Amino acid sequence: MKVVLRNPRREVEVAGNRRVKDVLRELDILPETVLVIRGDDLVTADQMLRDDDVIELRPVMSGGVR
Amino acid sequence: MKCRKCGGAAALELRRHNAAFCAPDFLEFFRNQVREAIRRHKMFTRDERVLVAVSGGKDSLALWDVLLDEGYDATGLYLDLGIFDYSVESKAKCEAFAARRGAPLIITRVADEVGGPVPVIKQVTRRPPCSGCGLSKRYLMNRAALEHGMAVVATGHNLDDEAATLFGSVMHWQTDALPRQSPALASTHPKLVRRVKPLYRLSEREAAAYAFLRRIDYIVEECPFAKGATSIAHKEILNRMEEASPGAKHNFLFGFLEKARPAFERAEAVQLNECARCGQVTTGTVCAFCKLADQVKRAAADVPPAPEQ
Ligand code: SF4
Ligand SMILES: [Zn+2]
Ligand SMILES: [Zn+2]
């Protein structure tokens, strides 16, 4: 399955047919730091992803002095 | 995972609340937290005009969105920092949002006020860009509110921002910064407006989820100067603690606000004067903003600035 990462925007291919949290673990991403987006929906960490899914892992962190 | 409210499929898990929500119930949870923040800290009323500082990012646009939906008289203020593509794009997001919501948006260019955009300020002062940028933002927000007759400025600072700032202050025991960290800072001078942070009860992940679910088109890219900021390093540390123990950030910040902050409140009030140049409030004779603008304008008159990307 395809995973879209941001800042900078790039794509990686990972094995599907497993849960969101397993994919996050493989990519070494803390669940607290991203939204997991599939199409128009948000997906929770326990959901299964299929091999033909495309998900975006969108970082939620903003920084600097605001 | 099931929604705590309706039992439907959950869109977002909130581990620190030991809960998950479907999209509509999450949006309601989010609005409730903003309502609670406004109520608890008496941030503003529906009779007051509120100036919302918007950056084009998820937090400030989410805040503006909630306030408009709640019926507040909320005007946006976008400060154009002149930071390359980041500023061009973030300004476009704010303009598009304002147009879509039919809400008023004030735009102020930092370059017009300081004599150069943030990259030039960085060059001239030889200090981290966030220092001149932050100073200019605080000054221009307050001035814009005064000029437009608004008694309060609302910013999009979220729980993570506040926890990271607190962490930084505690790491250095900046005891003068601690009492100033609050979801609502009352006006202490006729020329200082109230400053409030209605998202302080919400994490940045929650703000991002709200913006996404509300289909708000916000800028996901970061300011190019944010990369090295210590606040980001602090956020990363806090996120690791949060991972090990959900609620850690919340407990850190709320524990401070409820139990520790009063202990740092100083008895003696600082002497506030009006700047000899611009009339805004300062503790000295000439305010830090006027000094900065002076320095930048003088440098610009000498050599034409060539900002490096
Ligand atoms: S990261 Fe620093 S330079 Fe960039 S907008 Fe924030 S305060 Fe300004
Ligand atoms: Zn629900
Ligand atoms: Zn001044």
Domain assignment present for residue B203? The answer is yes
Q: What is the mean pLDDT of chain B?
A: 94
Q: Whose CA is nearest to atom 5 of ligand 1?
A: B223
Element (H, E) at B20: strand B19-21
Question: For residue A28, what is the nearest residue in chain B, using CA coordinates?
Answer: B240
- Is B308 a member of any domain? no
Question: Nearest C-alpha to atom 6 of ligand 1 is from which residue?
Answer: A64
- Encode pLDDT of B86-145 as tens digits: 999 999 999 999 999 999 999 999 999 999 999 999 999 999 999 999 999 999 999 999
Q: Count up the domains in chain A and report the number.
A: 1
Is A65 inside a domain boundary? Answer: no
Q: Quick check: B33 and B202 in contact, CB under 8 A? A: yes
Q: What's the complex ipTM?
A: 0.94
Domain with A7, as residue range(s), is: 2-59
Beginning with the edge strand found earlier in the chain, give each strand of the sheet holding B105-109 in spatial order. Answer: B105-109, B73-80, B49-54, B152-154, B194-196, B184-185
Q: Which residue has the tokens 């998900």?
A: A55
Give the residue numbers spanning the domain of B183. 36-268
Residue A37 belongs to a domain: yes
Instruction: Give B89's DSSP letter.
Output: H
If we measure between CA atoms, which residue out of B45, B38, B3, B43 comes closest to residue B24?
Answer: B3
Q: Across the strands, what pairs with A37?
A: A42, A56
- Whether B12 is in a domain gets the answer no
Q: How far is A11 from chain B (nearest CA, A)?
A: 16
For tokens 């803390």, what's the residue?
Answer: A30
Q: Is residue B291 part of a domain?
A: no
CA distance B121 to chain A (A): 15
> Is residue B42 domain-resident?
yes
**Domain of residue B41, CATH code:** 3.40.50.620
Long-range pairs, A24-33, Cβ under 8 A, ≥24: A24/A57, A27/A3, A27/A57, A29/A57, A30/B239, A30/B240, A30/B243, A31/B243, A32/B15, A32/B203, A32/B205, A32/B239, A32/B242, A32/B243, A33/A59, A33/A60, A33/A61, A33/B205, A33/B239
Is A19 within the bounds of a domain?
A: yes
**pLDDT tens-digit series, residues A5-20:** 988 889 999 999 999 9
pTM score: 0.95
Chain B, nearest residue to A59 by Cα: B220
Residue A28 belongs to some domain of the structure: yes
* DSSP-derived 3-state class of residue B163: helix
Reported as a single tens digit per residue, the pLDDT across B25-68 is: 999 999 999 999 999 999 999 999 999 999 999 999 999 999 99
